[in-house]
Amino acid sequence: MAIGAAAGFGRFGRFAAQVGRSLTDTRTWAPELMVQMARIGVDSLPIALFIAAFTGIVLALQASYTFTGAVPLYFVGVLVGKTMILELGPVLTGLALSGRVGANIAAELGTMRVTEQIDALETLAYDPLAYLCVPRILAAFIMFPVVVAFADGMGVLAGWLTSINLLDLSTPEFIRGLRLFFLPFDVSFSLIKASSFGLAVSGIGAFFGYTTAGGAEAVGRSTTRAVVASSMVILVLDAFWAVILL
């Protein structure tokens, strides 16, 4: 099993190096970049905002429940802001997008592989890595932070609306709590994590899809592996950035 895992890492490393080399072929990947940014970023906004809104609501209610009597209620703003921006915004969005974006990339490239569409690209003198993988990976790297920024904002907004409507908290009190321990670095931390999650989700999805061998069953297997592996990597990266940057 250890040998299999090492071989897998080796194959991924070789794939990553090939994708890196294909970055020089801008003529091939540049026209596809905007299309992928829209698909990966803009189209992912609804699900990310949906998750963030309900996370914000629950955070505010649970904070109020925990603080009752012992901690001033305006600390709800602290908890909602800090937790949403530092942790739940990027991580929950990353996990949701590993299902949406990672699975989509793996299934799409896997299907193209088993139906010989990737071979067809090669015979038409395209570098398939430059045409298919580079724009998806770059788009995820660029757009994940954008989506996470919106998710962070939506979470805080939902926490505020919950606080003023369902808790005994006013807007100035919520904002006081929100600003109490806020550091601009928190936003940078959130966006750095989001970019790394974007690289991981798209890179792993592209790797499993591109290297699919077999038929429809193999495409399903690649898709599942991509989602499982990228979810695990997101959690590892989450811990990594906490150790390195906090």
Contact call for residue 120 and other proteins (CB under 8 A): yes
Do residues 210 and 15 lie in contact, with contact meaning Cβ atoms separated by under 8 Å? yes
**Which is nearer to other proteins, 33 or 157 (by Cβ)?**
33
How many residues at the interface with other proteins, by CB under 8 A?
13
List the structure tokens of 245: 């940057």
**89: which residues sit within 8 A by CB, 6+ positions away?**
52, 55, 148, 151, 152, 155, 190
- Window contacting other proteins (CB under 8 A); options: 83-91, 122-130, 175-183, 230-238: 122-130
Pick from 122, 183, 240, 245: which binds other proteins (CB under 8 A)?
A: 122
- Residue 117 as a binder of other proteins (CB under 8 A): the answer is yes
Instruction: Answer whether 147's CB lies under 8 Å from 41's CB.
Output: yes
Write out the binding residues for other proteins, residues 34-53 only, by CB under 8 A. none
The distance of closest approach from Cβ of residue 215 to other proteins in the complex, given in angstroms and rounded to an integer, is: 12
Q: Which stretch binds other proteins (CB under 8 A): 111-119, 143-151, 180-188, 225-233?
A: 111-119
Short-list 203, 200, 173, CA closest to 14: 203
> Which amino acid is located at 171 in the chain?
T
- Considering only 66, 119, 179, 181, the residue that binds other proteins (CB under 8 A) is 119
Q: Binding to other proteins (CB under 8 A): which residues in 192-221?
A: none
Is residue 4 involved in binding other proteins (CB under 8 A)? no
User: Counting beta carbons within 10 angstroms of the beta carbon of residue 208, is it exposed (0 to 12), middle (13 to 18) or buried (19 or more)?
Assistant: buried
> How far, CA to CA in Å, does 160 sit from each of 66, 70, 157?
17, 21, 5
115 binds other proteins (CB under 8 A): yes
d(CA 78, CA 148): 19
Q: Rule CB under 8 A: which of 125-164 touch other proteins?
A: 125-127
